[in-house]
């Protein structure tokens, strides 16, 4: 891994490489450049999971000519990249990936437990099919309860690797009334859920970042299931825009300006 990144940086194939390093016991993202080749010995694969592709979109928005190398620690990183390519947030020619997803511990079902975290809220491995034994009369109040725990931190949106819109509907005061806590239940969460249709690649970052332990992943899984059943669109694997590109094929969602 280190040798390949060194070669890429020396050859000028990439300008920067975003991987992980150990900082006082915390595995954090790190940006490796050809100026500091001796740092590459610290490069390691990441068990903690940061959205490196989101970092790449931020950098690419400010420096579009840069070729960025990315460490691919999990399968969903690649799917997130595909979504970002499809929506013109990243140029596939300017991204070089180093696939390390075989070395990191991950179960096939894309559901993993983080060993250092205490399990709170509903089980992170719950699938929409597991809810079928419950009636609507049971499920509806439960969902409303889960949504009402929201502290409106926008963490789910901020951490999401495929959330890149310049203007976010969640901050639109005509759609979602401002100044209320919890935010309008269930509109706030359902607006986000519908926007995740054809975008969410089920990486689970939103649920990990949720301070109120709302089962967001379960909700977006359900949305993804509908997209896949009704429109035969496999988010993250299909290489065209989702059927929800209502503005036509040529829609280019502008990235946020880097110096906001």
Question: Which residues of the shown chain bind another protein in the complex (CB under 8 A)?
Answer: 15-16, 18, 23-31, 33, 35, 48-50, 55, 58-59, 62-63, 66, 116-118, 151-155, 158-159, 208-211, 258-260
Identify which of 81, 40, 57 has the alpha carbon closest to the alpha carbon of residue 257: 57
DSSP string across 51-80: -HHHHHHHHHHH-TT--EEEEE-SHHHHHH
* Residues 187/233, Cβ–Cβ less than 8 Å: no
- Distance (Å) of CA 227 to CA 77, 196, 203, 221, 222: 20, 10, 16, 10, 9
* Cα-based torsion angle of the residue sequence 77, 81, 82, 83 in order, rounded to the nearest 10 degrees: 100
Smallest distance from another protein to CB 128, Å = 24
CA angle centred on 141, ends 219 and 163, rounded to 5°: 25
Smallest distance from another protein to CB 251, Å = 25
For another protein, the closer of residues 14 and 219 by Cβ is: 14
For another protein, the closer of residues 50 and 143 by Cβ is: 50
For another protein, the closer of residues 198 and 204 by Cβ is: 204
For another protein, the closer of residues 72 and 227 by Cβ is: 72
Helix axes 187-195, 216-231, angle to 10 degrees: 50
For another protein, the closer of residues 38 and 229 by Cβ is: 38
Smallest distance from another protein to CB 126, Å = 19
By three-state DSSP, how is residue 18 classified? strand
Smallest distance from another protein to CB 68, Å = 10
CA distance 77 to 251: 23
Smallest distance from another protein to CB 103, Å = 19
For another protein, the closer of residues 167 and 237 by Cβ is: 167
Tokens coding 244: 């929800």
Instruction: Identify the bridge partners of residue 128 per DSSP, sorted by sequence position.
Output: none
Smallest distance from another protein to CB 234, Å = 28
Report the Cα 24 to chain-centroid distance in Å: 26
For another protein, the closer of residues 49 and 86 by Cβ is: 49
Smallest distance from another protein to CB 231, Å = 33
């Amino acid at each position: 891994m280190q040798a390949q990144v060194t070669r890429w940086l020396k050859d000028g194939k990439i300008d920067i490489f975003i991987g992980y390093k150990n900082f006082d016991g915390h595995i954090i993202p790190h940006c490796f450049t050809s100026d500091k080749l001796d740092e590459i010995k610290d490069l390691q694969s990441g068990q903690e999971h940061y959205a490196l592709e989101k970092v790449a979109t931020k950098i690419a928005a400010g420096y579009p000519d840069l070729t960025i190398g990315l460490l691919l620690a999990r399968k969903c990183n690649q799917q997130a990249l595909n979504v970002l390519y499809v929506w013109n947030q990243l140029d596939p020619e300017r991204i070089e990936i180093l696939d390390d997803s075989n070395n990191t511990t991950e179960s096939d079902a894309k559901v993993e437990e983080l060993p250092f975290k205490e399990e709170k809220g509903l089980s992170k491995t719950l699938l929409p099919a597991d809810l079928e034994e419950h009636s609507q009369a049971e499920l509806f109040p439960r969902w409303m309860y889960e949504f009402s725990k929201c502290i409106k931190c926008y963490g789910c949106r901020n951490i999401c690797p495929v959330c890149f819109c310049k203007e976010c509907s969640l901050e639109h005061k005509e759609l979602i009334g401002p100044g209320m806590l919890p935010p309008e239940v269930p509109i706030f969460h359902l607006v986000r859920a519908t926007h995740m249709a054809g975008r969410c690649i089920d990486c689970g970052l939103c649920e990990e970042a949720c301070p109120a332990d709302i089962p967001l992943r379960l909700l977006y899984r359900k949305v993804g299931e509908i997209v896949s059943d009704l429109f035969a669109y496999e988010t993250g694997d299909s290489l065209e825009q989702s059927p929800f590109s209502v503005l036509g094929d040529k829609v280019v969602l502008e990235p946020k300006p880097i110096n906001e």
